[in-house]
Amino acid sequence: MVNFIFGIHNHQPLGNFGWVMESAYEKSYRPFMETLEEYPNMKVAAHYSGPLLEWIQNNKPEHLDLLRSLVKRGQLEIVVAGFYEPVLASIPKEDRIVQIEKLKEFAKELGYEAKGVWLTERVWQPELVKSLRAAGIDYVIVDDYHFMSAGLSKEELFWPYYTEDGGEVISVFPIDEKLRYLIPFRPVDKTIEYLHSLDDGDESKVAVFHDDGEKFGVWPGTYEWVYEKGWLREFFDNVSSDERINLILYSEYLQRFRPRGLVYLPIASYFEMSEWSLPAKQAKLFVEFVEELKKENKFDRYRVFVRGGIWKNFFFKYPESNYMHKRMLMVSKAVRDNLEAREFILRAQCNDAYWHGVFGGVYLPHLRRAVWENIIKANSYVKTGNFVRDIDFDGRDEVFIENENFYAVFKPAYGGALFELSSKRKAVNYNDVLARRWEHYHEVPEAATPEEEGGEGVASIHELGKQIPDEIRRELAYDSHLRAILQDHFLDPETTLDEYRLSRYIELGDFLTGAYNFSLIENGITLERDGSVTKKQARVEKSVRLTDDGFIVDYTVRSDTRALFGVELNLAVHSVMEEPAEFEAEKFEVNDPYGIGRVEIELDRRAKVWKYPIKTLSQSESGWDFIQQGVSYTVLFPVEGELRFRLRFREL
């Protein structure tokens, strides 16, 4: 007989749309637990994230009653994590304990004293042991890949182990990767056969499956397969009645058996994450390398040595995510003693908006907007003031300016541009705009999955090859720079809007990403750069002052080269889908009712204006997402000699 632990992880990110929550509930969470109720001999370990539990509590409270009933019947073990589903390794130690204890309290309301942690995205680093133990946790669940990366063979991965840091010890269960690819995508008998193959008479041997609950109804094709075609009922029936399979919960296992020994796990996550977290060029090489090993039938033998990036690499891969993360850390430290403010920063630690894999993640504006909303709300409880320091640890100082209504953060070393303009009144960051970048899967149709395709059942997301539609490919463009407000361009006068928006133009000057000198003034900053335009000397000065409703900037531009001087404002317009347009105006309004709201751009003279949507191409569980990350507005003036003008940004 072999022990078998069956677990699911149910999560919806902070800021997700209500209709998405509703759909996932009806397709997965509700039918799964209602089916479980029909099989009293079936046992499940379940983790529900805080954002999902809050939605269920407000919209489907009867589901919580069902969970309480299943706990009482001994069918359900509640496994916790950080309440708002942070990657624990990415947040301060003090916040980890509060996050875990908050979800433990919710588990108590469901009738369960939780002692185990589902490690968000299975992102492990050794020093987590101390935080987990301080939060009263006895065991944690990670992938078998972590253990293999530590040098253990597959045959040694059917038992939990102890791991230790600084004298603190915790039990660690390995999730069986083969089961992750069998359940629920392959016929039930394939899983039964595999579990039977593990039965060698050792009564302490345990196979662990613990994976996303969304695989049971939300992932493409799975609702029909799991429920309408009866996969889940067949699975519960067969597993719970098989005399060679002993269904057991984590806590029950640890009451009967002791962990096998001591192991030290490296920093790791699951195998696919090591592909996704690499910079795009390296990720492409990683996929090619895995495919070469498979072709030569060497992958299974050597895969333990195949490792890509780690989760925190996403902060290197996506500077916008890194900046958001470092602002979160900055505010977390500032509000640690303020319980009300701290609740907002705990929300801002929800992991989804900080990274990107097979799901949208950082590419989904509404998820980033939710993080920024909570960072800004938390920040508003303390007075930050003005300062100069390297906020995002990129080796260059930022200038942080605060008034009664706004936070403004300039990067003098990166075009002297405004990289954060956060409104306290609206709790939005006007520059929450992601640059358009090439991702390795734009060329690589396959992913570096450790399993071969099975041919039977339903395809996993990881097996779905996708071609970019022609209508998207025609509009696809990549940026050579990050997006900000008050970015300075020198363009050839013959440049067209299409050339500009599709990144098919030549930047005549070195001001867009060049370093500006700066000096602080009352309520603002003066930035200046002596650079060149077509190798001739040029100079740009901009003096920016925060106002009660936005900012005013006065420009002085000197260039001997005949050119178009453009000031670009990238604004986080997410709810109104814009089209490219060219017009002339002295004043124009931007209206984004479900995003940044209404703002007005006013000039002291009439100017040509180019606008276009900034669209990125990313993959998701449903295919390709061509998403508007914001809208670029560029005001253009001819320059040959000296140019002076004023621009005003006003929040309405």
> Residues 6 or more apart from 377 whose CB is under 8 A from it?
341, 344, 427
pLDDT in tens, 210-234: 999 999 999 989 999 999 999 999 9
- Kindly indicate the confidence band of residue 623, based on its pLDDT and cuts at 50, 70 and 90: confident
CA pair distance 44, 34, nearest whole angstrom: 13
Pairing of strands 245-247, 2-10: parallel
Residue 262 phi/psi, 5-degree rounding, is: -105, 135
pTM of structure: 0.94
| 237 is an active site residue | no
Catalytic choice (85, 121, 320, 592): 121
- Assigned CATH topology for domain 2-269: 7-stranded beta/alpha barrel (3.20.110)
Whole-number pLDDT of residue 461: 53
Whole-number pLDDT of residue 583: 97
pLDDT in tens, 286-295: 999 999 999 9
- CATH number belonging to the domain at 440-444+461-651, selected among 2.70.98.10, 3.40.1800.10, 2.70.70.10, 3.40.190.10: 2.70.98.10
Q: Are 556 and 541 in contact, with CB atoms under 8 Å apart?
A: yes
Residue 465 phi/psi, 5-degree rounding, is: -75, 140
> Residues 6 or more apart from 470 whose CB is under 8 A from it?
none
| 212 is an active site residue | yes
pLDDT in tens, 49-86: 999 999 999 999 999 999 999 999 999 999 999 999 99
pLDDT in tens, 111-170: 999 999 999 999 999 999 999 999 999 999 999 999 999 999 999 999 999 999 999 999
* DSSP symbol at 27: I
Buried b (16+ CB within 10 A) or exposed e, 501-532: bbeebebbbbbbbbbbebeeeebbbbbbbebb
- Kindly indicate the confidence band of residue 299, based on its pLDDT and cuts at 50, 70 and 90: very high
Catalytic choice (54, 101, 212, 554): 212
Over residues 455-475, mean pLDDT: 72
Domain boundaries, the chain: 2-269, 440-444+461-651
Distances (CA, A) of 551 to 410, 422, 428, 644, 648: 13, 12, 16, 17, 6
